[in-house]
Amino acid sequence: MHELIRNRWSARGYDPQATISEDSLIAILEAGRWAPTWGSVQPVRVIVGTRGDETFDGLVTALTRGNASWAPAAAALILVCTRVLEDDEKASTYAVFDAGLATSQMILQANAEGFNAHPMAGFEIDTVVETFSIPAEQAPIALIAVGKLAPRETLDPSIAERDDRERTRLPLSETAFAGSWGMPYRPDSPA
C-alpha cells in the first residue's frame, strides 16, 4: 500500500497559527477536480474558506458541537457538494459516489502537501445551504478540515486523547469476498 494511504489519519489537533499557501490549496482542489467521475458528468462542487476569511467563518458557524471544538483551528475548510436529481436515483447515487472519490483524492493530496485532512459529516446542512445560497439540486455531503498538526503539549487533553487513539480497520477477510458473500477473498479463491 502506498505510504500516503498507510499514513493517512483524521487528526483533530490542528495548529491555529498555521496557514496554507494558495499553491497547496489549489493542488488539493485540483486533486478533487481530477477524481474519477461517472460518465464524465463531474457533479462535484466545493466551497472553500481559509481561516480568517468570510467563507471559513460561515462554514465554522455550521459545525456541530463535537467538530466546533477543534475544526476552527484548521487552516482551511472545504465543503463538498454534489448534484442530486430527485427524478434520477441512479445519477444521484453516482454523484454521491463521485463526491466520495473527490473527497478522498483531496485528502491524499493534502497529505502529500504536508497537511492533515479530516473529513466530517458533523455540520448543519440547512445552515450551509442558507449561508452560501446553495441551489436545491446541490447536496452538501462532507466538510474537510485541512491543517497542520499542533505540538501535542499545546492541545486540549480531550483532543490529544482522541488523536492518540489507535487507527484500526476490519481485517481484509471481513471486507473482501470471493465465490459468494462472506467467503473471504484469498489469492487462490475460485474465480
169-188 pLDDT, tens digit each: 999 999 999 999 999 998 66
pLDDT band at 81 (very low <50, low <70, confident <90, very high): very high
HSE-up (13 A, CA, CB side) for residue 27? 15
Angle, CA of 149, 63 and 12, to the nearest 5°: 20
Q: Rounded CA gap, 51 and 107, in Å? A: 18
Determine the pLDDT at residue 177.
Answer: 94
Determine the pLDDT at residue 22.
Answer: 98
Evaluate if residue 191 carries a pLDDT over 80. no
19 grid coordinates = 496557514
Q: 3-class SS at 120? A: strand
15-39 pLDDT, tens digit each: 999 999 999 999 999 999 999 999 9
Domain ranges of the chain: 3-151
What is the rounded radius of gyration, in angstroms, for the C-alpha atoms of the chain?
Answer: 18
146-162 pLDDT, tens digit each: 999 999 999 898 999 99
Determine the pLDDT at residue 188.
Answer: 66
35 secondary structure, DSSP code: S
Residues in Cβ contact with 7 at an 8 Å cutoff, skipping those fewer than 6 apart: 111
Q: Rounded CA gap, 102 and 105, in Å? A: 5
115 secondary structure, DSSP code: -
Angle, CA of 84, 86 and 92, to the nearest 5°: 35
24 grid coordinates = 497547496
Query: What CATH number is given for 3-151 in this structure?
Result: 3.40.109.10
| 171-186 residues labelled b (16+ CB within 10 A) or e (exposed) | eeeeeeeeeeeeeeee
